[in-house]
Structure 1
Amino acid sequence: MHTTIKFTLLAIFLVLSNTVQSDEAASGINFSGDILSRTKLTGDWGGIRNDMAAKGVTLDLDATHVTQHVASGGFDGSLLDKFPGNRISSLLPGNSETASDGMFNMLLKVDTGKAGLWSGGFLTVRGEGRVGDAVGIRAGGIMPTNGDALSPNVPGHSNKDVLALSEMTYAQFLSEKFGVALGLINTADGDKNEFAGSLRSRSHFMNAGMRFSPVVLGTVPVTTLGVTAIFLPTKNIIGTMGFVNSEESAGYNPFERDKGTTFLTEWQISHTIFGVTGKQTLGFAYGFDRNSLDFGADPRFQLASLVTTGETVRTNADSWVLYYNGHQYIQGDAEGGWGPFLRAGVSDGHPSPVKWNVAFGVGGVGMGSWRPK
């Protein structure tokens, strides 16, 4: 596909995440209050933060620290001895059974309408960093036990100290039901579930296999140039459709990482059954023109190939994935309720060895008055 056409189409998919962010900005978050009740630890900065938000500018920083220990078993390095020199070693914190790492996220959002410029415009800039070691595959599973440590996903820097620009997008709504966006997009909020979270989540499961469908990682990068469109046909339906470069771009010049193209679309339907709410999400991705794209940059998905052939995966073929997630409140709502959730995905199994996945459980918030959050 011609680069200009590809880049233009890519902006369509970005709008969904920016729409959600704009809704949050429009809700009028108040940063004031005492340390036990305010929304952010550092408060309103003497009122400056509230004034900035009122004028369409929000600045946020969050940090997470994780220490994990492999209690028994796990991967002891024998695979490295069998296949010396492969890139799987980058995910191992030496020979230690205990690993400790920290992740931080810096986010700037600008609402051009509130800023007195023009209506319907939203700028999002995100930087992410990671320090220390994660348990990685030392625990013995393909899916990491610490999903937080996957970001930023800088190729060749798994489980290393890194700082990267992971998002810079601009979205413009042309009407209440349609908008477009383009730039360096971040797909970590995709496949989001209210009970199970997403790859971005810091308040749900830690195991990455519960936070999103792992079938997508062979086709959908986390950070890449893209263009998307968003559709809001009714108040209960939100959909996105667009194209992105298939090559991961975090930490690199994104204009030099354009091997392959991925088509993405995701649709969410909110509903009410017997007076309680729920949501269904369905997504599809198709990757093409992926000539000689080397997936060895993500060694978590090389285990199956390494064990059987001693080589990392390469492909010249197209690939596709289909994923679904849904949740349904049985009692209450987002302010205090609970219910079941289901997440599932299928792929053609090339290049990712994950051909299908299923995750399910029960989640909620505010199960009792003694613990309202």
Structure 2
Amino acid sequence: MARSFSKFVLTLSCALISCAVGSQSAKAKEAKKEATAVSLLSQKTLTDVPGGPKEHLRRLGIDTDVWVTQFFQGIAAGGNQGVSRYGGKLDVFLKVDAEKLGLWRGLRVNAQYEHYIGLNINQRDYALLPVNAAQAFVAQNNYHTALSLIVTQQLSEQLSVSVGKFNTMTLASQTPLIGGGGLDTFMNRAFALPSTGIGVASPGTVADRLIVSPPYILGGVATLKTDVATFNLIFADPRNAANPRVLERPFERGIGVVGGVTVPTEIAGLSGYHTLRGGYSNARGFDLDDIGESRTRLAPLVGVTKKGFWLASYAVQQYLVQNAEKPNVGWGLFTLATLSDGNPNPVRWSMLAGLGGNNLLPGREIDQWGVGFFHYGLTTPLLAGLAERRIYRRSEGGIEAFYNWAITPWMRLTGDLQIVEPWNANRPRGTYMALRLQTRF
């Protein structure tokens, strides 16, 4: 009987141990599932899993990102009311740190490939400035894809030099508070691609040369960072580098040079930046005095050109609220004012200002929002010349507001509203509404 009792105790103990092990295994699996779910909701991109390929590549000095941005935008009021379009844009980013790869100290290579998808309402709304900047330059009836490539050499801790083909909207996206590029902050070109001071010299269309800011430039940038300010010197072909001829015959129409200085400030412990730029090009642009009927009669077949143009700008970004632990997280004021020669530049002056940044409510710090207004003062020779031809145009202005809700860090849904007084004087004020969904792989 004692032997039977011992056997019973041993069997019961084994069963209890088995149950305990099974319970612990189940708990471990459940905990693993919860950890995976938490990681999926918090990781930077959809494929950036802990210990995954992207993490291993970063250790070697190679960083990759793929963004798919979808747009559904429509005209709620104004000209072509009721028109709506669905489209999108694919962006592929590649960053290579040659030093980490053991190839060359201080050398970095950045590449960006863009591909257009679907449709958009640009040029259907009678506005001069594209209301969807992200789809304005790689477009259905324009260049369908684009490739930008930048090579940067860090000469010292303070000095770096970059050369290549630049996407200026991607550069603008690095601007504090206002952002840019049309992919995750403002959509209107007024905010997404502010003035650079380098202009398109070919006659082309007024919209293509607007406020001397081609979306792609071929050239170089030297950057010097000091304790008191950051200095930039840019040289570039003044034409839109999306045109293959610019790559085949660079600088055949002239060169543009821009100098800038950014001075950081601090008010009541809050960061701010003041940026002053000046640019000049020796290229030829279409002489806007030639638009009128009298000049056209004198030279009916040949458009008169004018050599040389300049632009100056002043920008301010000032945080009004900042996260104490993460200084780059906050919201504040931004503004930009520009002044040009007014001929051949079609915009004599421009102004934009607004508020924007992050939502600082707990758990919503990566959400972004913004509201701003813009006004582009078109030059008198352009407006007067068009009026002589019975084409009535005016300066263009408007407002835009957006909220970018980060469903996860890699999936973001934006609601956007724009109200624009278009440059076509015969068309009413337009109201545009959009939803934008971005997924980062």
**CA–CA separation in structure 2 for the residues paired with 1:34 and 1:240:** 40
Are 2:44 and 1:39 equivalent residues in the alignment? yes
Q: Deviations over 1:159-183 (max 9, x none)?
A: 5460121x21211122112122222
Q: Deviations over 1:102-151 (max 9, x none)?
A: 11211111111111122211111221121222211322321111121134
**CA–CA separation in structure 2 for the residues paired with 1:127 and 1:102:** 14
Q: Deviations over 1:242-264 (max 9, x none)?
A: 31111212252513253221112
Alpha carbons 1:131, 1:161 under 8 Å: kept: no
Flag the 1:214–1:244 CA change in 2: closer, same or farther, 3 A: closer
Alpha carbons 2:276, 2:315 under 8 Å: kept: yes
Match among 317, 320, 324 for residue 330 of structure 1: 320
Match among 281, 284, 309 for residue 278 of structure 2: 284
Which residue of structure 2 lines up, in the alignment, with residue 64 of structure 1? 69
Are 2:254 and 1:264 equivalent residues in the alignment? no
Alpha carbons 1:69, 1:97 under 8 Å: kept: yes
1:261 maps to a residue whose letter is I
**CA–CA separation in structure 2 for the residues paired with 1:35 and 1:307:** 64
Alpha carbons 1:133, 1:160 under 8 Å: kept: no
Alpha carbons 1:75, 1:139 under 8 Å: kept: yes
Which residue of structure 2 lines up, in the alignment, with residue 210 of structure 1? 191
**CA–CA separation in structure 2 for the residues paired with 1:266 and 1:42:** 38
**CA–CA separation in structure 1 for the residues paired with 2:189 and 2:301:** 25
**CA–CA separation in structure 2 for the residues paired with 1:196 and 1:306:** 38
Alpha carbons 2:39, 2:49 under 8 Å: kept: no
Flag the 1:168–1:108 CA change in 2: closer, same or farther, 3 A: same
Alpha carbons 1:215, 1:354 under 8 Å: kept: no
Which residue of structure 1 lines up, in the alignment, with residue 105 of structure 2? 119
How far the C-alpha of 1:215 sits from its partner, in A, is 7.8
Taking structure 2 as the reference length, what is the TM-score of the superposition? 0.62
**CA–CA separation in structure 1 for the residues paired with 2:293 and 2:79:** 16
Gaps of 5+ in 2: 1-36, 200-208, 367-441
Q: Deviations over 1:44-102 (max 9, x none)?
A: 486211111111111111121112111222269xxxxxxxxxxxxxxxxxxx8212221
**CA–CA separation in structure 1 for the residues paired with 2:310 and 2:69:** 33
**CA–CA separation in structure 2 for the residues paired with 1:311 and 1:134:** 35
Alpha carbons 2:40, 2:49 under 8 Å: kept: no
Are 2:142 and 1:149 equivalent residues in the alignment? no
Flag the 1:67–1:257 CA change in 2: closer, same or farther, 3 A: farther
Identity within the alignment, %: 26
How far the C-alpha of 1:214 sits from its partner, in A, is 5.0
Match among 165, 170, 178 for residue 196 of structure 1: 178
Which residue of structure 2 lines up, in the alignment, with residue 353 of structure 1? 346
Please say which of residues 305-314 and 53-62 is displaced more in the overlay: 305-314
1:206 maps to a residue whose letter is M
Flag the 1:339–1:225 CA change in 2: closer, same or farther, 3 A: closer
Alpha carbons 2:335, 2:353 under 8 Å: kept: yes
Alpha carbons 2:221, 2:232 under 8 Å: kept: yes
Alpha carbons 1:98, 1:135 under 8 Å: kept: yes
Which residue of structure 1 lines up, in the alignment, with residue 434 of structure 2? none
2:312 maps to a residue whose letter is L
Flag the 1:48–1:213 CA change in 2: closer, same or farther, 3 A: closer
Flag the 1:311–1:34 CA change in 2: closer, same or farther, 3 A: farther
**CA–CA separation in structure 1 for the residues paired with 2:52 and 2:307:** 55
Gaps of 5+ in 1: 1-31, 77-95, 296-301
**Structure label with greater radius of gyration:** 2
Q: Deviations over 1:22-61 (max 9, x none)?
A: xxxxxxxxxx972221111222486211111111111111
SS of 1:371's partner is coil
Flag the 1:362–1:185 CA change in 2: closer, same or farther, 3 A: closer
**CA–CA separation in structure 2 for the residues paired with 1:54 and 1:306:** 61
1:168 maps to a residue whose letter is L
Number of equivalences: 307
Which residue of structure 2 lines up, in the alignment, with residue 137 of structure 1? 123
